[in-house]
Each structure stands twice: as C-alpha cells, then as structure tokens.
Structure 1
Amino acid sequence: MRPTRARHAVLWLTVLAYLITYMDRVVIATAAPVIEQEYGFTPVTMGWIFAAFSISYALFQIPGGWLGDRFGPRRALTGVVLWWSTFTAATALTWSAGSMMVCRFLFGMGEAGAFPIATRSLSRWMLPSERGWAQGVTHAGARLGGALTPVFVALLIVQFGWRMPFLVFALVGVAWAALWFWYYRDTPREHKSVNASELAIIEGALGAGKARVSVPWRRLLSNPRLWTLSAMYFCYAYSINIFLTWFPKYLHDARGFDIALMGLFASMPLMAGVIGDLLGGWASDLLVKRGVGLKMGRRIVAVVGFLLAAAMIPLAAAIVDPVPSILCFCVALFGLELTVGVSWAVTLDIGGEYAGSVSAVMNTLGNSGAAIAAAVTGYIVSMSGWFAAFSVLSVLCLIAAVLFLRIDASRKLVEGEMQT
C-alpha cells in the first residue's frame, strides 16, 4: 500500500500558521511612521510599544509550550491563535501610547505559544530526516509573511488608514484557527487520513508517542546544553527583531524613503531570508542523510550563516548608496536565516517528546533578546546613530557562531541516548 502524505498536509498548515504570526506581528512596524505622526510619539515611545509585545512574548513562551505538551497542539494552538487575533483587531481601537502598549502586551501573550506549540505539533509527525526541512519551510513561511506584509499594509494604509490592516489580518487568523481544529490531530494514529503504510513509517521512526506528556522540568532546566542553545537564540532573536520592528523606520528616517518605497525595500531582505530558511533546513537534512550526523549536519550550516550575517550587516549600514546597502542587507538576512530552521530542528532532535517545552525555553531567552532590541534601539539610535545599532547585531552574530560550536544535536536532553 502506498503511504499517504497526511504529515505533509500538517506541515503546510503549520507553515500557514507561521506566516500568519508574522503578518500580524509586522503590521505595526509598517504602520509605525503613520502612528507616530497621528499621536506625536517619539522614537523612544515607539520602542516601548514594540517592546511591550516582545516582553510578553518572552514571558509566556514556557506557559505556551506547556499548554501544547499538556493539552495537545490541536486545542492549544487553536486557542492561542484566536486570542492573538482578537488583540490584533483590538490594536485598531487603541487611543494612546498606554492603551497600545497594553494591547500589544496581550497580543504577545497569545503569539508566545505559537512556535512552541507548533513545534510540538510536528514532533509526532515529522521524521528525523525531515525535521531540518520542516523547520526551514515553516520559518520561511514566517519570513514570507514578514516580507509580504509591508507591501500590503502600505497599500491598505494609503487607501483606508492605519487601522484597517489590523482588522483584515485578524480575520485571517480566525479562519486559520477553524481550519486547524477541523483537520489536525495530536497523533497520526488519531487521524483518519493516515493509512497503515504512513503510520508504520512515522511510528517506526518515532514510536507511537503520546498526545499529552508530563514535562520533567527539573531535568530539562538543569541541563547546561539547553542554556547554551537558548543563549545562541538570544543573539539570533535580538538581530532578527531589528529587521522586524525598526528596519522600516530606518529606511524612512535614515534613507528618506516614503511609505510606499519603505514597504517595498523593507520586504526585500526578508524575502532573501525566506531563501535562507529553505536552504538552511534543506542543507542540514542533506548533510544528515549523507552520513555527516546530526551534530555536524546542524552545526556547519548554522555557523556559516551567523558568520555571513556578522560580516554583511555593518557593511550594509556603512554604504551610503541605498540600493547596494539594501542588497548587502539581503545577503545578511539570507545568512541569518540559514540558522533558524536548524536551531528549531535541534529542539526536536534533543527535546523529543518535550520539544514544545524545550523550544519554549529557547524562545523565552531568545525573545528576551528581542524585547531588549526593541526597547534599547531607540536609545542607541538617539545617542549614537543607526550604524552603532547595526554594529551590535554583528557582534551578537559572532557570539552565536561560537555558541553553536558547543551544541550537539545528537544527544537528547532527558534520555541521554545518541542519535544517528
């Protein structure tokens, strides 16, 4: 009997979820210049509005991952998407800096569960040899959402004002939540579309698994390898968050682009990042399949990506001509995004049944970096300029490359057995 491909349908539904998370997240970055003008916000105030999301996003990573592990991804992911879609729409109703900060904080609470729960949803479906590609393509979906959103948001703002994009994208999230709850099941054995052949392939590689597990938090949190992984992701998340929050404003203020050109050029590096997401996960899995092993298969791709980003970011910021500068930023984002699918594949490799919680810890520390980036960049730019702000990213990418040299994806955090 030819195996069905229900696991691939699950993967593409997850890709769509990642795309929606970044669509909803990036709307405010593109709308920021118009919001600042309407309310008279300073860059520092706008930075704290950005940071309100990042702070709650970091704080609620572990609770979000626990929800997925404890109650199963079907119910948990449906719930968090409905929650954040509600506050995406509510952003359009805010009337001051304080109300916007509160709304973005509540929005971040919901989005915090997205990646850990989605990672848990894939842990029972994707084969070990498919994980790098799966994480690469899901994060490519996220970057694609981030890349396309500025263009559409700019058009909606020109036609209808800055509030309309928040309402439109909220409806997209609600529609996805309904589709997910209808199609997804917590284990392949529960899914009617999985035939015996595909079930044998999945369970032969992963075992039967459990829809819900009890998380051994003490054993996970006492393992230094989890903190090395998380520190690496801190460096990554600080860096990528500059491009998701501050980059459109940089193009508007430092490069002098109007709202339409700003949306276009803000999208270009993120589109290059989409290619990096796809290539990074694919290359890592290819190395694993060719016998390099999980340890080196994950490590080689990530270290190369971080070093490329470290070299290109300051060069891009220093170039005066805007077009070559944007091209260098594209190369930098390509390198940075080579690493992200690999990083999340490692959470599956070493987390196993507890991948949701492991990824939540990694993403908590990572998004602490994102929150710091959102808040302090306004101060750095005000005191030292944009080149200084981008130089911080280069240093962090170098640190991340060094940390990844200490990450071994072949050793599980809890069981301790070696993987091939």
Structure 2
Amino acid sequence: MSAGSPSVITASELWLQKLSEPTSNPTDARPTRIRYVVLPLLAFAAASAYLTRHCLGVANTTMQEELGFNNEQFGYLYGAFSAGYLICQVPGGWLGQKFGTRTVMPVLSVVWSLCTIITAAVSSLGAMIVSRFVFGLAQAGLVPNGAKAVKDWFPVTFRGKASSIITMSMSIGSVITIWLTAHLLDDHGWREIFRTYSLVGIVWAVAFYFIFRTRPQEHRGANEAECKLIAAGEAEKSDATPEPFHWPTAVRQGATWALSGQLLFKAAGYNFYVTFFPAFLEYKYGITKTDAGMLTTWPLIGVIVGSLCGGAVIDGLYKRTNSKRISRCGTSVVALTMAGLFAVASTYTGTAAALVLVISIGAFFSGISIPCPWAASIDMGGKNSALVMGIMNSTGCLAGICISPFIGRLIDHIKATNGNWDIAVWVNAAFYILAALLWLGVNPNTQIGKRPDV
C-alpha cells in the first residue's frame, strides 16, 4: 500500500474502537452494556481452561501405550496438577488484587497454554510432572480472579446468573473435551491435539487484554450510568483498594470453615462422576467401556443444566426475599440434600441406564448449587473476594488429593471381595448431605477476614 493510500480498518478493529469510544453523554440515564461483553469473555476462559485440563484424562490409555507409563505413574500427573492447583489458590487471588485481573488472567492463560505445549513435547515422566504442576499453579488463579471480575463488573442482583454461566461453561468445556478428544485422537494423535488446544488459551489472552478492564470505571465504553448500576446495593467504600485481610480473624471464623468444608464434600461428590463412575458401571453391570463412557456424560449434562438454572434461582430468591442467606444458603441446603437423596434412590433401580438417569436428576440439583459458593464468596469477601474464593477453592482441591484415592481403594475392595456396589453410591450421597449441612454454618452477611472493632 502506498503512503498516500487510505488505511484499511477491519471489522474487528471497528468493533473494538466502538467499545472504547466514550459515550456522548456520560451522565445519560441509559446504562451501556459493556458488562455483557465481559461475561462471554469470562465464560470462554473457563471453558478453554477445562479444554486443556481434561484432555489428559481422555488421552490416558493412548499416552500410556506410547510412553510406557502405568496407571500409578499417570496418577502422579494428576496429583502434580492438584498440588499446584492447591498451592496457588490464595496467591493467585492475591495477584489479581495486586496487579488487576486485566493483567493477571491473560498471563495465567498463556502460562497454562505453554505448559500444555511442553507436555506435548516431552516424553519423560519427570518433565511431564513438572509441566503439569506449573499448569496447576497457573489454572489455580482462574476461579478467584473470575470471582473478582464478576464482583467488579456485575450488580449484586445479577452475580448469581453471571456465576452460573461461568461455572456452566466449565462443565461445557469438560463435555466438549471428552467428546472432541475422543473423536480426534485416532487421526491426529495426542501431541497434536494438545498443541492445538493450547492455542485457544493464547488467542483468548490477547483478546481479553485488549477488550477487558479491571474495573468498569476504567473502560471508556462504560458510561457513568452502567458504573452506578453495577455498584447499586453495595455498602462498600467507592475506592478500589482492598481492605486489609486479617488472617487470625478468618481462621477463627466458623463461616470460613463452613464455606470451605462444603466445597470439599461437594467436590468429592462431583469427582466421583468424572473419575470412578465409568469403572463402577462396568463392574456393577458388566457393560462395555463405550457404554459406560456414554452413560457417564448424563450426570455431567445434568450439572450443566442445573448450573444454568441455579443462577436464576438464587437471583430470583434474592429479589423476592432480599435475603442473601435464603438465596445462597437455602438454595444449597435444599439442592445438595436432593442430590444426596436421588443418589440413594438410584441404588433401588435395576439397570445401568435407570441408575444413571436417577443419579443425573440428583446431579441436576447439585448443579443448581454451583453458583452459590461463588456468590457467597463475593458477598463474604467484599473487596477481598478473590482471596476468599481462593481459600474456599483450596479446600475443594483436597477432594482430588485425599478423597479420590479413598474412593479408589473402596472400589478395589468391593471388587476383590465381591461386595455390595451400592456402598460406593451411598458414600457419594453422604458427601452431598455433609455439604448441605455445612451450608447451615454459612452467613453471607458476615465478612470473612475483617478485623474486629477494638
């Protein structure tokens, strides 16, 4: 193009330019809608994270055949991810508060994408363990920083829906990964698939950095009316500086332990569906691996639908009652209790399909409860919401590290002794009931980590 030729502006550049243009009247009573651009960005981040997280499990047997690993060694890879994920929950949230979610979230996405590329490039167990450990460190920051972005960009009456859309996107990412990887594996190989998946996170990071801003007040496309709409109902000070987090108070608060404990047991219940459930179906009913895998997707779909409905439920209850305790805690107590009861009821069915159908109804109820800890963490964390979310999610990681091996040993014992397979489902139901009971100790009106007045 010659120097005198007019510059060419692409459609995407025009769109981004329009988003960044200040409104002609910043005090216009009609709010802009930049927050609805932010929401799909956050949802896509969640889905793409699970794309790179669960592809390892789908490619498990193929990788073992090529690399000569056994299941115990593959367990070290899962454990490395869980350890990294656990360690960096709180630091990941702190980074978002210190440097802003606009900077931290893209950096984390690039790091976990590069780790996926490294996993696809190496062949030794040690190198893969290191890459998956760092991968877990990076992905640990997604949830607490996502929670902070929801708090910063959405009014309190919409946070439940926003949280449910993001958490639903995680489950959608899991289902897509299982289906897509299984179909691509034979023709393209696991290394090529991993490299391709990693590009998704890198592209998202670039788009997010250029479109997103940490606070709506910093976005030129968000007018004053939208900023006021987002801040409506908040009792916090208007400055963006996080209040000092008092760790001794947080440790002493029963709400901290209740909020964290409920996620531990709820995660244990969900992990059963994505880890040992296919094997359970094979052993109990003698069905093929393919049939067991297909049936395993039913509870995951139930979780997705329930998660989407959960946001509307808790926001609707809050609008009707003006009570965060009823909308967050009440919803969780009822939904998780129903999940446990349906799990128990499933053991009275006679076929694999019937059992999975009843369990999937329970999974739907468990999905309804998914947005509740997000919303409660935002409520109880205040300006330290990312930190509180990190504390809670750290405890949930223990389900993968500690409880999953326990379930594995239980299944091995039942198989070796020709015992009652229903015990595994009863234990899973107990996890959901325990989570429901712990929600009775959560009060969303209590701020975690706030220094008591002297």
Q: Same fold (TM over 0.5)?
A: yes
Q: Distance in 1 between matches of 2:226 and 2:355?
A: 48
Please tell me whether residue 350 in structure 1 is matched to residue 380 in structure 2.
yes
Where does the alignment leave 5 or more consecutive residues of structure 1 unmatched?
A: none
Residue 299 of structure 2: aligned partner = 269
Residue 11 of structure 1: aligned partner = 39
Q: 1:217, CA displacement in angstroms?
A: 3.4
How big is each residue's C-alpha offset from its partner over 1:157-188, in whole Å with a ceiling of 9 and x where there is no partner? 12222333322211111111111111111111
Letter in 2 for 1:347: S
Q: Distance in 2 between matches of 1:282 and 1:289?
A: 10
Q: 1:43, CA displacement in angstroms?
A: 4.1
Q: Tell me, yes or no, if the aligned pair for 2:307 and 2:370 is still in contact at 8 Å.
A: yes
Q: Distance in 2 between matches of 1:400 and 1:162?
A: 37
Q: 1:102 to 1:383 in 2, by over 3 A?
A: farther
How big is each residue's C-alpha offset from its partner over 1:289-345, in whole Å with a ceiling of 9 and x where there is no partner? 002511111122111221122123355467562322332232232122221101111
Which of 316, 319, 324 aligns to 2:354? It is 324
How big is each residue's C-alpha offset from its partner over 1:224-253, in whole Å with a ceiling of 9 and x where there is no partner? 211110011111122222333444555677
Please tell me whether residue 400 in structure 1 is matched to residue 435 in structure 2.
yes
Which of 12, 22, 32 aligns to 2:60? It is 32
Tell me how many residue pairs correspond in the alignment: 416
Residue 261 of structure 2: aligned partner = 231
1:315-394 equivalence runs, <5 A = 315-316=345-346, 319=349, 321-385=351-415, 387-394=422-429
**Sequence identity (%):** 27
Q: Distance in 2 between matches of 1:101 and 1:354?
A: 32
Q: Greater shift after overlay, 136-145 or 307-316? A: 307-316
User: After the TM superposition, which segments of 4 or more aligned residues of structure 1 sit over 6 Å from their partners?
Assistant: none
Q: 1:114 to 1:281 in 2, by over 3 A?
A: same
Residue 23 of structure 1: aligned partner = 51
SS in 2 for 1:26: helix
Q: Distance in 1 between matches of 2:74 and 2:322?
A: 46
- Whose Rg is larger? 2
* TM-score normalised over the length of structure 1: 0.91
Q: Tell me, yes or no, if the aligned pair for 1:18 and 1:139 is still in contact at 8 Å.
A: yes
Residue 67 of structure 1: aligned partner = 95
SS in 1 for 2:121: coil
1:4-403 equivalence runs, <5 A = 4-39=32-67, 41-206=69-234, 208-210=238-240, 214-248=244-278, 256-258=287-289, 264-291=294-321, 293-316=323-346, 319=349, 321-385=351-415, 387-403=422-438
Q: Tell me, yes or no, if the aligned pair for 1:129 and 1:289 is still in contact at 8 Å.
A: yes
Q: 1:297 to 1:256 in 2, by over 3 A?
A: same
Q: Distance in 1 between matches of 2:132 and 2:362?
A: 28
Letter in 2 for 1:15: A
Q: Tell me, yes or no, if the aligned pair for 1:235 and 1:369 is still in contact at 8 Å.
A: yes
Letter in 1 for 2:46: Y
How big is each residue's C-alpha offset from its partner over 1:183-237, in whole Å with a ceiling of 9 and x where there is no partner? 1111111001101211222234445341666544344333221111001111112
Q: Tell me, yes or no, if the aligned pair for 1:71 and 1:212 is still in contact at 8 Å.
A: no
- RMSD of Structure 2 on Structure 1 (CA): 2.5
Q: 1:360, CA displacement in angstroms?
A: 0.2
Q: Distance in 2 between matches of 1:29 and 1:247?
A: 14
Letter in 2 for 1:21: A
Q: 1:107 to 1:257 in 2, by over 3 A?
A: farther
How big is each residue's C-alpha offset from its partner over 1:77-124, in whole Å with a ceiling of 9 and x where there is no partner? 111111111112222234244443333222111111110111111211
Letter in 2 for 1:356: A
SS in 2 for 1:163: helix
Q: 1:106 to 1:376 in 2, by over 3 A?
A: farther
How big is each residue's C-alpha offset from its partner over 1:14-51, in whole Å with a ceiling of 9 and x where there is no partner? 11111112222221222223334445554444333322
Q: Distance in 2 between matches of 1:87 and 1:256?
A: 36
Where does the alignment leave 5 or more consecutive residues of structure 2 unmatched?
A: 1-27, 416-420
* TM-score normalised over the length of structure 2: 0.84
Q: Distance in 2 between matches of 1:200 and 1:188?
A: 10
Letter in 1 for 2:444: A
Letter in 1 for 2:446: R
Q: 1:53 to 1:6 in 2, by over 3 A?
A: same
Q: Distance in 1 between matches of 2:282 and 2:120?
A: 22
Q: 1:399 to 1:361 in 2, by over 3 A?
A: same
